[in-house]
Amino acid sequence: MRFVDAGPDIPYDLIVGQERGETIFVCGAGVSRTAGLPLFHGLVEDVYRRLGENWTHHPAERAGMAPDGKLYGQYDRVLRCLERRLSASDAPRNRNMKERIRAAVREALAPPQGTDLSNHLALLELSRDAEGQVRLLTTNFDTLFERAWQAAHHNNIPSHAGVALPQPKTVAFSGVLHLHGRLADASAQVTETDWVLTSAEFGDAYLRSGWASRYVYDLVRGHTVVLVGYQAEDPPMRYLLEALEADRERYPDLKKVYAFGHYEAGERELIEALWRAKGVEPILYQVEHHDHSALYNTLQEWRRYADDPTAWRSEQLRGMLDAPPTTDEQIQRCLALLNRGDAQQLLGELSPVAAWLPIIVEAGLHNAQLPDVWIASRINDSEMIRACAGLGPLDEPTRWRIERALDQENVALTPAQERAWRLLLGLRPQSDGGAASSDWYDWVPLIRRGQTHLQARQIVARIVQPRLKIGKVFHWHDEDATDGAGGETLHDLLRFELEPADHPGAIEILEVWPDTAEQGSALFRTLDRAIFEALEQASDLGLLDAWDTASHDVPSIAPHPQNSDRSGFQPITRVLAELWQRVAGHDPTLARVLIAHWPDAPYLLLRRLYLFALANEAYASGEVATAILALDDETFWDSEAQVEVMRLLIARWPQWTQVEREALEQRICRGVPAQLYVDGIAADVDHWSSIVDNSIFRRLKRIEAAGGLLTDATRTVLDQIAERHPKWQPQAGDRDDFGSWHEMRVGPDGHPELLAGIADDHLVREAFRLQQERQYDEGDLWRVFCSADPERALRGLKHESEGGQWAPEAWRYLLWTASEQGDLGFQRDLADQVLQMPPESLGELLSAASSWIQRQREALSQGDADSHARFFAVWDSLSHLAYNSPDAGPVEHGFGDDLISEALNRSGGILAASLLDALAATQPEAGSELNAEFSPRFECLIAAGNHAGLLARVYIMRALAYLDAIAPEWTSRHLLPRLDWAHQEAFPLWRAFAHGKIGSARLFNALRPAMLDAFERKGLPEKELEGVFSKLLSVAIWHRKGQGGDYIVSPAQLKHALSIAPSEVRRNVAWNLWRMMADETIVDKAAHWRGMVGPLFSDLWPLDVRARGETSSERLVLMALECGAAFPEAVSAIMDVLVPYQLYRIAHALRLERHHQDLLHAHPRAFIRLVNALIDPTKFPVPNDLPAVLQECVASDAGVVDDPAYIRLNGLRRLLNA
């Protein structure tokens, strides 16, 4: 948490520890510096001044005081040198001189009058235990902490010093604790004690008698320590922390030590490393001109926070939560302030705007209970309703709180708001049929045995009945949350869906349910009630008004591909329809009785089910005709019911009498009535006439296509419509019956045979006309035609170009095709056309044309000199457009910052690739340099200042090794300077070169400093750093083989680069070492380890703790397992760089192959040591096959039981079996 801007970021765990009273602050001279006292260096300078001495005249003292001295900063040693130099041999004089030095120290540390001690007081207030007792440790001699307390509280705080310090965790452990001694101060009523000032006194306190070391150790066992006012290399830190670090290695129960440390610009990494080297977690802040206000302002604010954390966070959050968040930084700041266990209280007090609710819930700050007080406080806020809609069922405390708020008479809610809250309260967990789905599988065997009573039927109903789900309303960014003049509606607040359980499906249920009239009718009645109830709920929520969502869920009552992937009312409808068919097959009379109420049902979906049933033989053809003629206009013409209506017409048409058919034809021929549409639609006569004609045409053509006989009068009507609309064609099959059609296709749509009889000069226009008019079937006709007959497509485009028409869309498809096919003559003709193309048209085709000449470069260059010139002429035209056009701004291309992929797919990189291919085709000699044909073109790529030029250079840099071999001088002049890290293109070009080849020794040596610097800069992504290190690794391997001596890089350089590289690089190196050992062509694995891989590993692999990781450890272990007879040596080599990782079973991790198993029997001690290094029960469970492994090891070598590794693992075995 950052208490002030630009201040240090306090770790969450430290803030929690301070609140719990688990921390103790240890303060150094930097704290007193804020009150005007000197730091250690200034103190020594002051002592010399007061004694009239000059350290510059004495080498030993100068070594500790001069910035370039070998002992610079070791001021305790400087004072000891001074003391020894000034002391005589006799004891009285010795004591007197020591006293003079200490007198100088007292004078230097005399507190100034009227100084501000607020920083000291803040530290005292922060350093309290769980009971509020202050206890603060300081290495300062001054009594400024005592004075700060006295000034604020008007009483004296306990003060202890030196060997008389009370032990931590005892009753007396309180007050100011002077670890290195204390000055006398009458105002604080304290006397002077012995000091720890010189190196001799430090040696006694921390080494000879060791009382200070023991005290610090006891302190850190019981408290989290926070260091303030020190630098990492201060003498007190050197003694205190190094003594502590030795204890930490032996006793892991020591708690964490934090240190506030400052750094200047550019020093952060160094300062952080210095602190971490001492086992300290640094909390850093930047300073300028020795201004530490960022730290002390933070401590002051932290003190105010600690007085009442909730009140402080409330003050910080107030105002921030009054508006929706606008930045991620704001969100993270607020979440950090709320993530302290009191979010419920704060949110209830502050009542933020509702936009924060999903953010806070997603962050998990509600502690398994929603912030009910906050939600209820905004009961009349529509945004809070919308926010709650996205949370799912509310928990019980929130439901209770909302119900209470709704019952208050003074709450002003709109009807829509109150209804929305009531609906949210009605949602319950498991109300979606999930429990019923689970119960179903328990009931399946019972149903098969005939247990189909009400309980079983209710389970089926709960599965397929659509149940209410409420979600958040989605609005377009430019759409208001309300519908405007009509005011806020329920649908402005909540989004409703009626969904059944996910499984089982309708087919599975029907397969299990008995196929008898009795069993089928019983389940039918249950589901009939269930669908009526669901439709009633849908109607009540307004889901059946303007858009009947229930009917829309069911494109066809009968089985149909259009029903696929549908939910909602689809499953229950399908089960009902199939059950009714079954019952009708057994007892038609009973079946008719079951649906007697459907024809007059208020819901369209039930009326459609009735129309579906009419197709069954349970109904006579005359009844069906009468029923269809009796349908209201809306059902007959303008709803999803037309699918069932047309199904009936097709199925029953041959069965009806001529009179019945004529009556139906006449109704169809009258067309759709105008009252079904919006008022005034018929005023546009032509438009309305087209709508009526279409309604007639689709239905009559469907009947005619199915073989239905039509009267002459009806056929005349059809002919007249066809004459008015000659382009109209009926869709295939029953597609016209559906208001919308969903179909998945693979590949382009188009039938090139449609253009077979079209003249070349009309070819392009006819193809695009068909594409536009028949988008569904012929939407890609020209593309398909270009692939089918590219020569004819080119002829058609030539005709268009002669008339000045260069449609880029038409040429693009032909260029794509030409990239893959077309003979030599076709390619040359196409090239000639491209050369004639206007720049504005060619500019739109850059990508397609660039890909074409890259793939057809050889064809375009074959033959005579004209052919060779043709390729370069096309290349020049394209490159002029690509590399001289200004960038239009950022373009979303899907490659992100991956310029390599973009170069492979964009014209800038593709043109560079084709030029490189052309160069390679000439087979130039090494060192020949670029000739007059290639040099200016490559320099064009180098000089291009737009994004396409950068892509060209990225591509070229992947081939840097090749270009350097051909044209070393050109490469040195034009490419290598761009790999200087100071160059603005260095990063993208290094990313490209990282994926290229290593190149010559001259190139490698020239780039080696920049390669090594890449790991220091940490700017390249991990994959590219892997590529850079692979080049270094290749050289190291050559050196081990006695090769590549002119490639210069030292093992120390490699080891350092690998130590600071990202972990992914080390994982990759470990993988390579493993694969080198696992090479099946190596016969003598032990010799290969001893002569190649082992020395290479020792040269490369860093010993740094930070360079260790689980994945790299696992790969190094796999490497060792491949070393055969050298397995013990390999284990010894890797032991110190391994970290434990999860071994589910030792057999699976270390004994995968037969030769791995043999290692245990041949080298049981080495195997045991390896296993011991990999098992840490505090991190991962102990593998359950450890006892068996130990037993095998003992069987192979009984003496292994005395090995420390075996003794430890055997103890873990006992714990495993306990």
Q: Which residue has the higher pLDDT, 313 or 522?
A: 522
What is the overall mean pLDDT for the chain?
A: 90
Decide: helix, strand or coil at residue 9: strand
Both tokens of 419, joined, read 């209804």
| Residue 1083, pLDDT above cutoff 50 | yes
For residues 754-759, average pLDDT: 90
DSSP symbols for 491-560 = HHH-EEEEE--SSS-HHHHHHHS--SHHHHHHHHHHHHHHHHHHHHHHHHTTTTSSS-HHHHT-S-SS--
Per-residue pLDDT reduced to its tens digit, 675-713: 888 777 778 888 899 999 999 999 999 999 999 999 999
Residue 984 pLDDT > 80? yes
Instruction: Kindly report, residue by residue over 28-81, the tens digit of the pLDDT.
Output: 999 999 999 999 999 999 999 998 888 988 899 999 999 999 988 888 899 988
Q: Pick 545 or 999 by higher pLDDT.
A: 999
Q: In one letter, which amino acid is 784?
A: V
Share of the chain above pLDDT 90, in %: 68
Q: What is the pLDDT of residues 1172-1191, one digit of tens each?
A: 999 999 889 999 899 999 99
Confidence check: pLDDT of 248 > 90 = no
- Residue 482 — very low, low, confident or very high, per pLDDT cuts 50/70/90? low
Residue 565 phi, psi (nearest 5):
65, 25
Domains of the chain, by residue range, sit at 12-37+113-304, 38-108, 308-426, 620-744, 751-852, 998-1137, 1140-1218
Distance CA 1168, CA 1128 (A): 10
What is the 3-state secondary structure of 477-498?
CCCCCCCCCCCCCHHHHCEEEE
- β-strand pairing of 257-263 with 224-228: parallel
HEC assignment per residue over 831-896: HHHHHHCCHHHHHHCHHHHHHHHHHCHHHHHCCCHHHHHHHHHHHHHHHHHHHHCCCCCCCCCCCC
Average pLDDT rounded to a whole number, residues 477-487: 53
Across 909-930, b (16+ Cβ under 10 Å) vs e yields bbbbbbbbebbeeeebeeeeeb
CA-to-CA distance for 156 and 1161, rounded, in angstroms? 72
| pLDDT, mean of residues 821-842 | 93
How far is the C-alpha of 667 from the C-alpha of 653, rounded, in Å?
14
Q: Is 999 left (phi over 0), alpha (psi -120 to 50) or beta?
A: left
The string of pLDDT tens digits covering residues 577-631 is 999 999 999 999 999 999 999 999 999 999 999 999 999 999 999 999 999 999 9
pLDDT: which is higher, 363 or 912: 912
What is the Cα–Cα distance from 335 to 1, expressed in whole angstroms?
A: 10
Whether pLDDT at 92 is above 60: no
Architecture of domain 12-37+113-304: 3-Layer(aba) Sandwich (3.40)
pLDDT for the residue numbered 865: 63
What element of type H or E holds 826? helix 824-836
Say how many C-beta atoms besides its own lie within 10 A of residue 1050's C-beta. Answer: 11
Pairing of strands 159-161, 495-499: unpaired
Check residues 148 and 253 and name the one with the higher pLDDT.
Answer: 148
Whether 484 shows a pLDDT value over 50: the answer reads: no
> What tokens were used for 210?
């060791």
What integer pLDDT is reported at residue 1076 of this predicted model?
95
Rounded Cα gap, residues 555 and 562, in angstroms:
6
Instruction: Give the pLDDT band (50/70/90) at residue 1024.
Output: very high
Q: What is the mean pLDDT of residues 907-918?
A: 95
| Contact between residue 380 and residue 411 where contact means Cβ atoms under 8 Å apart | yes
Q: Cα dist. 356→368, 1120, 1128 in Å? A: 17, 54, 60
Query: With DSSP H G I counted as helix, E B as strand and the rest as coil, what are the percentages for the chain, rounded to 5?
Result: 60, 5, 35
Q: Running DSSP on this structure, what letter comes out for residue 597?
A: T
Alpha-carbon distance of 283 to 265, in angstroms, equals 16
From residue 665, give the alpha-carbon distance in Å to each of 445, 623, 659, 744: 52, 17, 10, 35
**Cβ(629)–Cβ(668) below 8 Å:** no
Tokens (6 digits) for 1200: 């292994």
Torsion sign over Cα 1160, 1166, 1169, 1174:
negative
Please check the confidence at residue 1 and state whether its pLDDT lies above 50: yes
Predicted confidence (pLDDT) per residue in 621-651, tens digit? 999 999 999 999 989 987 789 999 999 999 9
On the 0-12 / 13-18 / 19+ scale of CB atoms within 10 A, 98 is middle
Band (pLDDT 50/70/90 cuts) for residue 476 is: low
- The residue with tokens 């245990």 is 1160
Instruction: Indicate the helix (H) or strand (E) that contains 222.
Output: helix 211-222
Residues 683, 685, 687, 692, Cα dihedral to 10°: 100
pLDDT attached to residue 122: 96
Model confidence band, residue 250 (pLDDT cutoffs 50, 70, 90): low
Does position 815 have pLDDT exceeding 90, yes or no?
yes
Please report the pLDDT score of residue 434 as a whole number: 57
Other C-beta atoms within 10 Å of 1036: how many? 23
Q: How far is CA 127 from CA 20, 36, 116, in A?
A: 11, 23, 19
In this prediction, residue 1033 carries a pLDDT of: 95
What pLDDT, in 10s, does the model give residues 551-581? 999 999 999 999 988 899 999 999 999 999 9
Residue whose tokens read 């409420």: 470
- Two tokens, residue 444: 């399946």
First-residue to last-residue Cα distance in the chain: 44
Give dist(CA 240, CA 28) in Å, integer.
12
User: Measured between alpha carbons, how far is residue 916 from residues 349, 356, 626, 952, 993 in Å?
Assistant: 69, 56, 79, 11, 15
Position 374 pLDDT exceeds 80: yes
pTM of the model: 0.63
Res 180: pLDDT:
94
**CA 411 vs CA 89, 237, 386, 493, 989: distances in Å:** 93, 64, 18, 18, 65
CA 469 to CA 427: how far, in whole Å? 8
- What's the CA gap between 263 and 287, in Å, rounded? 6
In tens, the pLDDT along 424-442 reads 998 877 544 556 777 888 8
pLDDT score of 739? 84
pLDDT, one tens digit per residue, over 1148-1165 is: 888 878 888 889 999 999
Angle between helix 685-705 and 712-724 (nearest 10) = 130
What pLDDT band is residue 912 in, cutting at 50, 70 and 90?
Answer: very high
CA 1172, chain centre distance (Å): 36
The structure tokens listed for 804 are: 């000045």
pLDDT, residue 723, reads 93
| 926 vs 850: CA distance, rounded Å | 28
How does residue 246 score in pLDDT terms, banded at 50, 70 and 90? Answer: low
CB atoms within 10 A of CB 521: 21
Looking at residue 481, its pLDDT comes to: 53
Token pair for 446: 């019972």
Q: What is the pLDDT of residue 1106?
A: 83
Over residues 1005-1029, the mean pLDDT reads 92
Q: How far apart are CA 650 and CA 156, in angstroms?
A: 104
DSSP string, 263-323: E-TT-HHHHHHHHHHTT-EEEEEE-STT--HHHHHHHHHHHHHHH-HHHHHHHHHTTTTSS
951 near 908, Cβ under 8 Å?
yes
pLDDT over 70 at 483, yes or no: no
Closest CA to 8 of 381, 354, 316, 272: 272
Q: In the chain, pLDDT over 70 holds for what percent of residues?
A: 95
pLDDT for the residue numbered 1203 = 93
Cα–Cα distance, 1092 to 421 (Å, whole number): 74
Packing angle between helix 907-921 and helix 865-884, nearest 10 degrees? 150
Contact 535, 603 (CB under 8 A): yes
